[in-house]
Amino acid sequence: MMKKAIRLILIVSIFFSFFLFLQATDIGESIRLVKQFGFNAVYLFVCTFFAYVFGALGWRFCIDAKVKPSFTRLFMYRHTGNIITLFNPAGAITGEMFNAGMLIRDGVDEKSAYKSVLLARIIMILSQLTILSVVLIWFLIFLSDRLPETLRYVLFACFVFFIIVISTVLFLILRNGKTTQHIPEKKWRRFLHHIKAMRNSLAEHIKQKPEMVIFSFFSFTVHWLLNSLELYFILNFLGYDVKIWDSLLMDTTIIVSKSAFWFIPGQLGAEEIMNKFTLFLIGITSHNLWLSVSILRRGRLLIWSAVAGIFYIVLKKK
């Protein structure tokens, strides 16, 4: 009874969040801009499609099971889980729980299922922070003269912070640790026991199958690179001469910054603010461009959300 109630609450919250996102989206303007793009709009969906493909591939390398679902099913699971994550106030937890549940339903044991989604999430974040660190180095060396001195210091501090975060996460995962077989009686001690057990399981998996982790890291890196091409195509088609590095800096900065607003359905408002800021970083000061970029990206998201809805119906029927 309790599980059904929680599931109902999650479903209602997802639909309510999506409704808020839909209300805040100018669908008419999205359609107009897509029509203005014409056939070029196909590029946006092609690059995001292949970004999703490599994201699913990165997750597949994290699944430690003899029998795995087909890649098509994994793609459907991950895409649906990502949309659930985006529109659910509980954030990534709900989406990853959905992904793990689908694996368990397909015969993957519970421990391996939860380990795979946790490891995939960690590797995905590390690959993103690594890309952002590299881009910040490039930006500070070659393009920092565009910015005030104070902002240059802020970006340098961000670079140092990301390096510390990456190093800390790697240390916490890979350091030697021990867990006892005895499960404590107190709830909080039991919770810590399970966390330590999962960390040790992740460390063991990484040490035993480093090539799979490397393949996963590479796949997620390609995922982020392809994802950033959306901004590259949008800005170029709107008449602005930007480079791949510029779009990569914008996309990674926007995604990392939006994560701080995970509790807002669809990160309404957060992406718009970051669009305007990152356009300023790469030297574009147009007053309306940031809004056009936001509308186009929301239009793309609505279409992929509809695809995820179809996937969800198909998976539930099966």
- Tens digit of each residue's pLDDT, the chain (318 residues): 555 555 555 555 555 555 555 555 555 655 666 667 777 778 888 899 999 999 999 999 999 888 888 999 999 999 999 888 877 655 567 788 889 999 999 888 888 888 899 889 889 888 988 888 888 888 777 766 766 777 777 778 877 887 888 888 777 777 765 555 555 555 555 556 566 777 777 778 788 888 999 999 999 999 999 988 888 888 888 778 888 888 888 888 877 776 665 555 555 556 667 777 777 777 777 666 777 777 778 778 888 988 998 998 888 876
Round to whole Å and give the CA distance between 10 and 175: 36
In this prediction, residue 74 carries a pLDDT of 94
SS3 track for the chain: CHHHHHHHHHHHHHHHHHHHHHHCCCHHHHHHHHHHHHHHHHHHHHHHHHHHHHHHHHHHCCCCCCCCCCHHHHHHHHHHHHHHHHHCCCCHHHHHHHHHHHHHHCCCCHHHHHHHHHHHHHHHHHHHHHHHHHHHHHHHHHCHHHCCHHHHHHHHHHHHHHHHHHHHHHHHHHCCCCCCCCCCCCHHHHHHHHHHHHHHHHHHHHHHCHHHHHHHHHHHHHHHHHHHHHHHHHHHHCCCCCCHHHHHHHHHHHHHHHHHHCCCHHHCCHHHHHHHHHHHHCCCCCCCHHHHHHHHHHHHHHHHHHHHHHHHHHHHHC
* Phi, psi (deg, nearest 5) at residue 282: -90, 10
In this prediction, residue 215 carries a pLDDT of 95
In this prediction, residue 17 carries a pLDDT of 55
107: left (phi over 0), alpha (psi -120 to 50) or beta: left
Under 8 Å CB-to-CB from 150, ≥6 apart: which residues? Answer: none
Q: Is the full-model pTM beyond 0.85?
A: no
The count of other CB atoms within 10 Å of the CB of residue 252 is: 24
**254 near 294, Cβ under 8 Å?**
no
In this prediction, residue 219 carries a pLDDT of 96
Q: At what angle do helices 41-60 and 289-317 cross, to 10 degrees?
A: 50
In this prediction, residue 172 carries a pLDDT of 75
**221 near 237, Cβ under 8 Å?**
no
Around 11, how many Cα atoms within 13 Å sit in the side-chain half-sphere?
Answer: 9
In this prediction, residue 58 carries a pLDDT of 94
| Domain positions in the chain | 32-175+209-317
CA distances from 158 to 107, 136, 255 (A): 43, 9, 15
Round to whole Å and give the CA distance between 121 and 135: 21
How buried is residue 72: exposed, middle or buried, by Cβ count under 10 Å (0-12/13-18/19+)? Answer: exposed
In this prediction, residue 177 carries a pLDDT of 58
Residue length of the chain = 318
